[in-house]
Chains A and B, each alone.
Chain A
Amino acid sequence: MNAAPPLIAFAHVSKSFDGGRGAKPVLAVDDVSLDVAGGEFLAIVGGSGSGKTTLLRLANRLIDADSGDIRVEGEDVRAVDPVALRRRIGYVFQSGGLFPHISVAGNIGITPKLLGLPAAEISSRVDELLDLVRLDRAQYRGRFPHELSGGQRQRVGVARALAARPKIVLMDEPFGALDPLTRDALGDDFRDLHRKLGLTTVMITHDMTEAILLADRIAVMRAGRLVAQGTPAELSKSGDAYVGELLRTPRRQAERLQVLLPRDGAA
């Protein structure tokens, strides 16, 4: 473990939701403790209803915890203005979350604009970000979200999250709705950005293969509880049955691919 203090720290965090009329409250996050070190790429893996998205939203106070402590860059999030907190944390939404009535440039520049940066500065930052996510400046600046493909939308979503130069980026199943090729390309591109910009990234996914390929460390959630965390190698040694089940699919795929796609001259 790193000696430096973690950039994001969850300590015994719980959150339950009102189950609707008459129903019992649902415990979405149940006593979770998890640290994310500076510069780390952490993937949170779990099925639907496992509480992974809730955990992510707790970090930038889109929702507030019932109990436990959450610290971002050493500060207790409850003591920080939630709006200011969200402006310094990048957030990539499932299927983009772009504002449909605002152009690509407007979407990317939204957080700098909210922070009150001058228009010229925002404009050059938008160009820089379009380069960063490999979209042609002239071609895409003025387009509207409905004129983009799914992959392009998600690139814009990533650019928007990075616009205010955050240290932390939270991603909620960012590549889930994309076709495999696009997904692969986007994943690789983002991994490069993460390294190049020195980001700390927390990504949610239900796809263990994606998590293994992109993340430094993986946290596995089930029914609101954190059941395991560690590097892929550490996880494969885990005795937990659910973790084993999650790892079986990528393993089997890898073996099948090895057989089906032998590489000539490979050792």
Chain B
Amino acid sequence: MSLFSDPRWSEALTHLPDYLGNHVRVSVAALALGLAVSLPLAIAARNQPVLRGVLLGLASVVQTVPGLALLALFYPLLLALASLSLAWFGFGFSAFGFLPAVLALALYSMLPVLRNTITGLKGVDAAILEAAQGVGMTPRQSLFTVELPLALPVIMAGIRTAAVWVIGTATLSTPIGQTSLGNYIFAGLQTQNWVFVLFGCLAAAILALAVDQLLALIETGIRNRSRVRIALGGAGIAALVAATLVPALARAPSSYIVGAKTFAEQYVLSALLAQRLQAAGLTATTREGLGSNVIFDALVTNDIDVYVDYSGTLWANQFHHTDIKPRAELLGELKAILAQQKVTLLGELGFENAYALVMPRRRAEALGIRSIADLASHAGLLSIAGDYEFFSRPEWAGLQRAYGLKFRAQRQMQPDFMYAAVASGEVDVIAGYTSDGLIAKYDLAVLDDPRHAIPPYDAIVLLSPKRAGDQALRDALAPLLGRIDIADMREANLRAAGGDGASSPSAVARWLWEKIGKR
């Protein structure tokens, strides 16, 4: 089978209009906003060394913040602003997706524009400035008829740099709910779909190159006073924007949005939910790769309609409870807390995706380790790996407290690589997920938790406040409740990590429905 006959290429292609369109829209909006702010600031600061230093310093600091963190920071910030505006002025706005992405990316675009505009303006020959004054120009006339036109090539170079940065960084706006070419990359990384990862990277690179070349055309047009080049470049960019707007306008507005966090199981479950809604004659799309800090708030604010979360995650992370309760009690209390936020707990899917300490079966047997209590006495010689959030989660603190765990070393890893790492002995223990199919694949043992330090993690379906009374939605999802057991989910997850054409989330979701729908 040749590389390009893989069916995942054509699947990737079907998402292109949506992902590319959103990517271009968010990039263009961010760049436009960035320019609208940076250009006047640079002009104001050009002759004021203090202001200039402060501006360039701030812009440089922003640049040192990793793009992902900058984007993630804007979400809670806007959420707070939105609730303030709702309280004070009686209207709120969506802090989800487009707005935080545009603001963060605009901020990101400022440094090259500021720096090049200031450099370009300062580079104008002093004799020319004096001539402008001498022929009777006001400072404003001098700026617009002489200084800016002469600085334009340098300014354009800055705009080109900013455009490339923004287009590249926009791929990171997926976790805060803005669809972008990053959807390919995040989904691909989580489901080990390297075709998607490659496709996303290539698409973003080609887009960045295309925009850069169009801006270069405008730049040389300005330099050579060629109206044709300027017009061609401008028309190219206008055409790009128009082309991405057409499918967005033509597309029927989706009535239901199914959210998914950033791991494979969530991609499969969101695809399953969306397929059930479509089967019931409802229109539905998925919004994937949302950060776990973003997704619940997005549901509360009706930015998404439905998603699957885990009881223990909400209990400990969202509502900051440190006590651990038996399953039924925890679910009951959670339902009440959720109701206060007008979120409906529709029901459990039937399996748990709990954190669990996992190690190779043979190693565990050799050391005589069956439970976490057994592990505690060996921990000082062993190393542990967890996903990016595990070690900052309350469960980890709880585990350490309950068993007195002290490992020789702890590492953070991409969840998909953790299992292979523990199987190969690169780390000794991992904080894995009970529903992960790789546990069986690598012959790993899940250690018991006799002191119940880890809360239950039942997979539960949540509905947004807006959809609380939506009977059609409830009916469509009802056949899923209580139907998915841990073995099914493990197998589904293993299939999703298969790395071939049958492992796309929607294909796995269809397989899962085939399996449980007949029961």
By a beta-carbon cutoff of 8 Å, the part of chain A in contact with chain B is 60, 62, 83-84, 86-87, 91, 93-95, 97-102, 110-111, 114-115, 144, 160, 164
Contact = CB atoms under 8 A, between A and B. Distances in A.
B156 to A, nearest CB: 14
A101 B134 CA distance: 17
A69 to B, nearest CB: 22
Contacts of B135: 86-87, 91, 110-111, 114, 160
B185 to A, nearest CB: 43
Contact of A111 (B136, B149, B150): B136
Contact of A99 (B133, B138, B146, B225): B146
Contacts of A60: 134
B138 A94 contact: no
Contacts of B128: 97, 99-100
Contacts of B149: 101
B144 to A, nearest CB: 12
Given A87-B135, A101-B146, 11 more contacts: A62-B130, A86-B134, A95-B127, A99-B145, A100-B128, A100-B150, A110-B135, A111-B135, A114-B136, A114-B137, A164-B136
Contacts of B324: none
Interface of B: 127-128, 130-138, 141, 145-146, 149-150, 225
Contact of B127 (A91, A93, A102, A144): A93
Nearest to A98: B131
A238 to B, nearest CB: 33
B127 A94 contact: yes
B142 to A, nearest CB: 10
Contacts of A111: 135-136
Task: Decide if the interface of chain B is mainly helix, strand, loop or mixed.
Answer: helix
B386 to A, nearest CB: 58
A101 B148 CA distance: 11
A205 B461 CA distance: 89
A94 B128 CA distance: 11
B133 to A, nearest CB: 6
Contacts of A114: 135-137, 141
A17 to B, nearest CB: 15
7 contacts: A62-B133, A83-B137, A87-B135, A93-B130, A101-B146, A110-B135, A110-B137
Contact of B136 (A83, A99, A100): A83
A91 B133 CA distance: 10
Residue from the set A83, A93, A97 with the largest chain B CB neighbour count within 10 Å: A97
A160 B128 CA distance: 14
A4 to B, nearest CB: 27
Contacts of B134: 60, 62, 86, 91, 93, 97
B132 to A, nearest CB: 7
Contacts of A86: 133-136
